[in-house]
Amino acid sequence: MKPIQEIIKSRPWVAWLLFFATVIIVFFIGLFASSIVERRSEAFTLQVVKPIAEWEPRNEVWGENYPREYETYLQTLDTTFASKYAGSVTRDYLEMSPELVIMWAGYPFSKDYKTPRGHAYAVKDIRLTLRTGGNKISPMPATCWTCKSTDVPRVMARDGVAEFYKGKWIDKGHEFVNPIGCQDCHDPKTMDLRITRPALIEAFQRLGKDIKSFTHNEMRSLVCAQCHVEYYFKGEGKYLTFPWDKGFSADAMEKYYDELEFSDWTHALSKAPMLKAQHPDYELYMTGVHADRGVSCADCHMPYKTEGGVKFTDHHIQSPLNNVENSCQVCHREKTQKLIQNVNERQDKINELRKLAEKSLAAAHIEAKIAWDNGATESEMKNALKLIRHAQWRWDWVAAANGMGFHSPVEALRVLGTAIQKAEEARKEIALILVKHGVKYPVALPDISTKEKAQKYIGLNMKELEDDKNDFLKTTVVEWDKKAKERQGTLKSY
Ligand code: HEC
Ligand code: HEC
Ligand code: HEC
Ligand code: HEC
């Protein structure tokens, strides 16, 4: 046979024939490849045995379509894992650090504050905590429901966002019975990740960022940032707002609150205008090396899992220390024990400074009270109270963030360092005021060595609170569940 070049020389149309034949073959290969990709996503949507209605709150209904994700989600009900500082077991913060009772005098956190557990407990736990009170004393606004239930997007769509936040927590409990789940993070039609909490969208809007502009990888953290963030209740309507306008750091948010002259409460002992940090997990994480390297919350808390040859996202959101193999060892080569040790040694250091800050702050509040009792004036106390406000905010910014600072150890230590410095500066000023008013310094501090003693010192009647809670659980909560069952037909108990 003649070489191809010679054939083309004598009959040029052969070259054109070859050219078009190639174009047609490439076109069909392309079509074939794209049909494979489409089939794959078809196979995924085909799993939908029953279409899920928009705003369907019941996790078990979603679970009919996605059994693996649902079954692993249900594992958040397991409460057996304890790491050195976290895990799903319940620990009582107030028992571990009775100083906290003093630091929150006049605020519901002094009544009850425990470690978190899995998402499936969210509704149960907000009903159980003494902070939400009972039938007689019920101090919480409706806004508190926002990060607890898949019913939130449903009620917001029905009533409007501002209306949702208005009113009392206790008046709306029949609406919120399904704990945090599928609806909170997914679009039921496409299963794409989506943001259902307007406060996050609005916070980015004020910073000039459209929530739709974030990458898929960023969304794997932002679905968590709907709830695991610092926030406050703005104005009379208790409108849920993230204080990010000046930046994400403890210092920037402190400035934001100062300019608004916002305070969560006035301290019962020191009379300082206080701030309560919520759980700035996302903000603290953003300052760490993992965020810097693009590691998302889901990478560590929702790693991939393989079962029967199928790879899927593990929805057992928990401490990664219970699952180091999937959570860490995809990137780190070190042994499990070594990685846990790396985490613990960072947490130990943070805990050391945290405890120092707590001792200083509890003393500062009590000493301030003694100063008031001995005739200190507002102008004398003003600066010391501001220092207490800032010190406690900074302590709380680290303490309230989950994971004992692991998400960004260096920043956690810096913020705690400034907390201690400010608390001690406040104590120095108060000491001078005490001496000026004829009080001998140092003053004797009360015995607050246990939670019970500290609660008695600040005048809490725990028996009354507990009785009120038990009454509420036996009456109001039963009514809530009855109404909810009538509305949705079924009601799963968690
Ligand atoms: C590099 C991995 C990693 C990333 C990324 C990460 N975390 Fe964590 N997280 C951890 C570790 C480790 C702990 C500490 C667990 C322990 O002490 O048992 C933790 C603890 C927590 C806890 C407390 C767990 C418990 O058992 O009480 C929460 C809540 C949490 N992280 C939320 C988040 C959120 C939200 C994000 C994203 C903004 C995030 N984490 C990003 C590794 C990570
Ligand atoms: C706190 C947020 C959150 C909740 C709650 C949640 N998911 Fe997911 N889900 C994710 C993330 C993050 C991914 C990974 C998505 C990605 O990277 O594309 C995911 C992935 C999925 C996928 C895609 C397949 C896979 O396994 O990767 C399905 C299906 C799914 N989830 C179903 C569910 C169901 C069913 C529920 C309720 C039982 C649920 N999810 C609850 C965050 C959540
Ligand atoms: C709708 C609000 C909401 C969203 C969204 C959310 N969380 Fe949570 N998360 C909570 C609440 C509330 C708790 C505490 C529940 C309790 O103690 O009853 C919690 C608890 C946790 C815990 C502690 C579990 C344990 O066993 O101690 C971890 C870890 C956690 N969340 C991580 C995440 C991650 C990672 C994401 C994103 C993929 C996320 N959360 C999304 C509200 C939310
Ligand atoms: C997706 C990849 C990835 C995952 C998952 C991951 N890491 Fe990392 N980790 C990194 C990278 C990248 C660095 C930065 C150091 C570097 O670039 O070599 C880092 C740094 C660290 C450091 C040192 C920095 C510091 O904060 O002090 C520790 C400790 C660490 N990781 C522990 C863990 C643990 C524990 C887990 C699981 C809970 C985990 N990592 C999960 C990628 C990852």
How many angstroms is it from 109 CA to the middle of ligand 1?
23
Residue 58 has pLDDT above 70, yes or no: yes
pLDDT band at 276 (very low <50, low <70, confident <90, very high): very high
Write out pLDDT tens, residues 405-426: 999 999 999 999 999 999 999 9
Q: Which long-range contacts (CB under 8 A, 24 or more apart) does 22-25 make?
A: none
- 67 Cα to the center of ligand 2, angstroms: 11
Ligand 4 pocket list (CB less than 6 A): 288-290, 293, 295, 299-300, 320, 327-328, 330-332, 339, 342-343, 346, 409
- In order of 150, 416, 421, the CA distances from 32 in angstroms are 41, 59, 67
Pairing of strands 310-313, 265-266: unpaired
243-272 pLDDT per residue, tens? 999 999 999 999 999 999 999 999 999 999
Nearest CA to ligand 1 atom 17: 86
The secondary element (H helix, E strand) that includes residue 487 is: helix 476-488
Q: What is the pLDDT of residue 3?
A: 67
Per-residue model confidence (pLDDT) at position 44:
45
Residue 92: strand, helix, or coil: strand
Are the CB atoms for 350 and 284 separated by under 8 Å? no
Best residue among 85, 331, 406 to mutate for probing ligand 4's pocket (most ligand atoms within 8 Å of CB) is 331
Mutate which of 300, 302, 337, 398 for ligand 1? The one with the most ligand atoms within 8 Å of its CB, which is 300
According to DSSP H, which parts of 84-197 are helical? 93-96, 99-103, 122-128, 151-159, 161-165, 182-185
pLDDT value of position 11 = 77
Predicted local confidence at residue 135, as pLDDT: 98
Other CB atoms within 10 Å distance of the CB of residue 12: 10
* Ligand 3 centroid to residue 119 C-alpha, Å: 5
pTM of the model: 0.93
* Percent of the chain's residues with pLDDT above 90: 90
pLDDT band at 16 (very low <50, low <70, confident <90, very high): confident
What is the enclosing helix (H) or strand (E) of 266?
strand 265-266
The CA 195 to ligand 2 mean position distance, Å, reads 13
What's the farthest any 2 CA atoms get from each other in the chain? 117
321 lines ligand 1 (CB under 6 A): yes
The pLDDT score that the predictor gives to residue 40 is: 40
Minimum CA distance residue for ligand 3 atom 2: 147
Q: How far apart are CA 163 and CA 185, in angstroms?
A: 22
Give me 310's structure tokens: 């199928």
Closest residue (by CA) to atom 6 of ligand 4? 328
In Å, what is the CA distance from 372 to each residue of 189, 399, 434, 445? 61, 28, 9, 15
Determine which residue's CA is closest to atom 39 belonging to ligand 2.
182
Closest CA relative to residue 288, chosen from 414, 425, 380, 173: 414
Identify the three-state secondary structure at position 113. Answer: coil
Report in angstroms the alpha-carbon separations of 473 from 130, 229, 312, 349, 478.
11, 29, 38, 40, 7
Task: Give me the helix-helix angle, 409-436 and 336-373, nearest 10°.
Answer: 20
Q: Which bound ligand lies closest to the C-alpha atom of 319?
A: 1
Per-residue pLDDT tens over the stretch 114-125: 999 999 999 999
Residue nearest to atom 25 of ligand 3 (CA): 117
Residues in the chain: 494
Could you write out the three-class secondary structure of 43-73?
A: HHHHCCCCCCCCCCCCHHHHHHHCHHHHHHH
| pLDDT greater than 50 at residue 39 | no
Amino acid identity, residue 111?
Answer: K
Q: How far away, in angstroms, is 332 Cα from ligand 4 center?
A: 7
CA distance 306 to 68: 10
Mutate to test the pocket of ligand 2, among 48, 69, 310 (most ligand atoms within 8 A of CB): 69
Distance CA 231, CA 144 (A): 11
Please give the Cα distance from 364 to 379 (Å, whole number).
Answer: 17
Residue nearest to atom 35 of ligand 4 (CA): 339
- Rounded (to 5) percent helix, strand, coil in the chain: 60, 5, 35
Q: How many Å lie between the centroid of ligand 1 and the Cα of residue 319?
A: 6
Per-residue model confidence as pLDDT tens digits over 377-387: 999 999 999 99
How many of the other CB atoms lie within 10 Å of CB of 314? 22
State the distance between the two ends of the chain, measured CA to CA, in whole angstroms. 79
Atom of ligand 3 nearest to the CA of 185: 5
